[in-house]
Structure 1
């Protein structure tokens, strides 16, 4: 996920710029992605709406629910959904080809415990997801905005983590991962100061990569090049 600003028109010709949590990069859809979007959306797609979804109705069952923000092309999200058919998974992504690829792969693999939004995660959380409804929120490898002047665009900020907390059940976990050490330090600083969270790390910093988080090709390449990856898991108390 990355970031951009858009203009909001105000009375008397004034303009306010609003920071967004992503850059909308459309990209070119393949025929397969386009077909999946048109054929599978009715089965797996969720449209942003101003009322909370009833997740039991959406999935046709009561079950533990995991929401991932910024799933990219969907590889790790699909692997988790396939491995854990008893769990409901929701993915949010703004990159349309990624959404199409995820839907196509899910349909081919017969994955039925997954639903996806193609919309801004901040707005989906604010408008469409009920408080105290999620067991886990995942944010894996968000845009690090590595230049210091861009740090304000990082999605992990005090207001955002409280928005996440409101959606988690008590005991639910906000799980973050990054391969950018400075962003890991930023995440740890923000989360350690956030009221209502407890760090699951015994050392008070990072946790080892849990087995349930798939190791991506991108991450494997990073390991070969000697790059670090940092996981943070904070529980709602």
Structure 2
């Protein structure tokens, strides 16, 4: 087996990412939010080759970032920030980290968080698996949320789906023992894939009976969920508990 490259060596990603990054124009309010609020909310990240990559070894100390030791909940694909800003405002005793690659969404999140006076929220502009694998310390997260990830419903694109066989190990690394991975999707075939992938994940056990979990009451209704419901699609919640490390 060939030697692995040293952490400092440039490298390209060895699997497709779950997004296509577009340079959408930000509104004037979003531009102002980025300029004024990024120092408060946005984590600086040491990059690898790609603009949204994370350099191996660039780990953060959550206690230093948040100024305290508290449970940490991570939302992957935080979008416009509706869910995570609501959660952070409702649960000031918990720290939250939103992971997103679209700058306009991050700016909107900062704008709403600033207006709400939220202090227990940080954001990172990066590819989620690299955040879980390189940026977060092992066993640092209490929960990991992935709500309505891009379904990549065309057959030729399903290889881009986030919840695929390579994902559970990086999620397990970041979660503490007993931590919970929460998933939600409005695409039936993606729900089936999620269940199949997680059934093969040795580090996780289902935290529900049957084909799905009850709707997570900590998830606010977002535009993605409303769109799915209007289209007649059924929302599927899933939850998996991180098994104890050996």
Tell me if both proteins adopt one fold, taking TM over 0.5 as the criterion. Answer: yes
Q: CA, structure 1 residues 221+56, in 2 after alignment: closer, same or farther (shift >3 Å)? A: same
Query: Is 1:206 paired with 2:212?
Result: yes
Provide TM-score, normalisation by structure 2: 0.86
> Secondary structure of the equivalent of 1:176?
strand
> Secondary structure of the equivalent of 1:174?
strand
Q: CA deviation at 1:52?
A: 1.4
Q: CA, structure 1 residues 153+43, in 2 after alignment: closer, same or farther (shift >3 Å)? A: same
In 2: Cα distance, 1:41 partner to 1:109 partner:
15
> Which structure 1 segments of 5+ residues have no match?
1-8
Instruction: Give 2:37's match in structure 1, choosing from 36, 40, 62.
Output: 40
In 2: Cα distance, 1:18 partner to 1:194 partner:
19
Q: CA deviation at 1:17?
A: 7.5
Match of 1:80 in 2: 87
Match of 1:19 in 2: 16
In 2: Cα distance, 1:17 partner to 1:133 partner:
25
Listed one character per residue, the Cα deviations across residues 36-68 of structure 1 (whole Å, up to 9, x for unaligned) are 111111111102234211101111111110001
> Secondary structure of the equivalent of 1:156?
coil
Provide TM-score, normalisation by structure 1: 0.89
After TM superposition, the structure 1 = structure 2 runs for residues 34-183 of structure 1, keeping only pairs within 5 Å, are: 34-49=31-46, 50-183=57-190
Q: Is the 8 A contact 1:21 1:122 kept in 2?
A: no
Match of 1:5 in 2: none
In 1: Cα distance, 2:199 partner to 2:15 partner:
27
User: How many equivalent pairs are there?
Assistant: 224
Query: Is 1:184 paired with 2:191?
Result: yes
Listed one character per residue, the Cα deviations across residues 66-96 of structure 1 (whole Å, up to 9, x for unaligned) are 0011111111111111111111000010111
Q: CA deviation at 1:226?
A: 2.9
In 1: Cα distance, 2:158 partner to 2:230 partner:
28
Q: CA deviation at 1:223?
A: 3.0
> Secondary structure of the equivalent of 2:117?
coil
Q: Is the 8 A contact 1:48 1:124 kept in 2?
A: no
> Which structure 2 segments of 5+ residues have no match?
1-9, 47-56
RMSD, aligned CA: 1.9
